[in-house]
Amino acid sequence: MKEPIAQPFFLSIPKAAKLCGVSRNTLYTWVRKGAITAYQTPGRTNLIRPVDLVRFMQESGLFIPTGLQDLAQRDEENDRPITGERPNDQRVGLLIADDDETTRKLLVRALDEDYKLFQAETGFEALHVLTLRKEIKIILLDLRMPGRDGVATLEEINTLRPDARVVIITGFADELPEDVVEKGWAVDVLEKPLSLESLKKTLQAIHTSIES
C-alpha cells in the first residue's frame, strides 16, 4: 500500500472570489496588500490555501460559507506530519522529498525515532510543505521528481528556507553542478542506493551543528 501523502490544496483567485462572494479584483487587492498569503506557480499564477482565506475572513468579520469551512478543515488536516504529532515534540523536523515510494518507506523506518518526519513526492509539494512547516531544519532531496527539476527545486529551497540544511540523495550525481556543496546549496550529496550508515552519520553531524 502506498504511503499516504497529504496533497497541497489550493484555490485559484476566481474560485476563491466565488466562494467569498466578492469580485476577483477585490480578492486580487487583498493578495497584493498582503492581507492574504498567496503562492505562485512557475507560471506566476496566484493560488490561495483555504485555511489562509478562512483565517482572513474570520479576522475581518466576514461571513464564511459552509463549503469554504469544509475545504479549510480538509486543508488543515493535510498539514499533519506523517508520523503524527507527539506531545511536546522536540525532535528536529526532517522532510523526505522523493517520488520513489520504496525509498521513502526505507527512510521513514530508519529515521522515525529521531526526527519529526514529513514527506513530499514532487518539488512543488516540497516547497509547499517547507512554507507551512518552519520546524523543518533538514531536507533529504531527490534530484529527479515529477513536475520540477531537482536543481531548480534546490535553488528555490535556498531562497525560501536558507536556514534549512539540504542533503541530496540521487542516482544522478553527474547532473549536479560541481560546486553545489562549496556554494552552500547542499551539505552533502549521497548516491543511491543509499547507505543508511552514511546517511545517519551525515544527519548526526547536521543535527549537532543545528543544536550548537
Length of the chain: 212
- Three-state DSSP at 84 gives coil
Find out whether 64 and 54 touch, Cβ atoms under 8 Å: yes
% of the chain beyond a pLDDT of 70: 84
Spell out the residues 6+ positions from residue 80 whose beta carbon is closer than 8 angstroms to its own.
6
pLDDT digit string, tens, across residues 52-69: 888 888 888 888 888 888
Grid cell of 83 as nine digits = 508520523
pLDDT digit string, tens, across residues 138-187: 999 998 877 666 777 888 888 888 889 999 988 877 777 777 777 677 88
Question: Is 146 exposed, middle or buried (CB count within 10 Å of its CB: 0-12, 13-18, 19+)?
Answer: exposed
pLDDT digit string, tens, across residues 74-110: 766 655 555 555 666 788 999 999 988 889 889 999 9
% of the chain beyond a pLDDT of 90: 18
pLDDT for 35 equals 86
pLDDT digit string, tens, across residues 100-141: 888 988 999 999 889 999 988 888 788 888 887 888 999 999
Structural domains of the chain sorted by starting position, each given as residue range(s) with its CATH number in brackets: 11-77 (1.10.1660.10), 92-211 (3.40.50.2300)
Three-state secondary structure string covering 151-185? HHHHHHHHHHCCCCEEEEEECCHHHCCCCCCCCCC
- Three-state DSSP at 191 gives strand
pLDDT for 4 equals 44
